[in-house]
Amino acid sequence: MSLLILVRHGQSIYNLENRFTGNLDIGLTALGEEEARQAGKKLKAFRFDMAYTSMLLRARESLRIILEMIGETEIPVVANAALNERMYGSLQGLDKGETAAKYGPEQVEIWRRSYDTAPPDGESLAATYARTVPYYKLEIEPRLRLEENILIVAHGNSLRALMMYLENISPQDISKVNIPTGQPRVYRMDADLKIIDIKYL
């Protein structure tokens, strides 16, 4: 049996300011750091063989805090851009409320939640899936088959893409999925990587 645990990074400065963050390298707020500490507390009973994260500061810092909390600072950590948040193009850095006022809330909702519609000059969830899931299959699935326990700390959309693959969620249904910050999602898998159970801690 193996464990895969996904954690969305703690609150970032742009989350707090209600701005589109995308792949801008924005740090955590004090609350975001506390969310990472709380995630670490929830994970103290677990032991990991490997941890993965994105290249972006908010995810790497969240992972660092989590590993400090659980006393696992010596495990191998791999950071890869395949796990980065999706690129929001010309919307990056803009206030979400002001953007909704300019383009209409329906259009902004489509950009944010749909599977295959990208924001202007940005990446769709489908494009995020096309880089995140192949990386997961190539690098992480083989370790799970060896019954290793894996921790991934990444972003709302890269983790939504992984959830689509892991849980066979349709492009229509994924639009309703919102991953909370700092809440570990635990997948327990058998030797064939069939999911035995899933839960948030």
DSSP-assigned states of every residue in 27-74:
-B-HHHHHHHHHHHHHTTT---SEEEE-SSHHHHHHHHHHHHHHT-TT
- Measured distance CA(47)–CA(71) in Å, rounded: 9
- Measured distance CA(184)–CA(5) in Å, rounded: 6
- Measured distance CA(199)–CA(155) in Å, rounded: 18
Local structure of 10: helix, strand or coil: coil
Cβ(103)–Cβ(77) under 8 Å? no
Cβ(153)–Cβ(53) under 8 Å? yes
- Measured distance CA(124)–CA(114) in Å, rounded: 8
Cβ(38)–Cβ(69) under 8 Å? no
Just list the catalytic residues: 9, 85
Beta bridge partners of 189: 2, 195
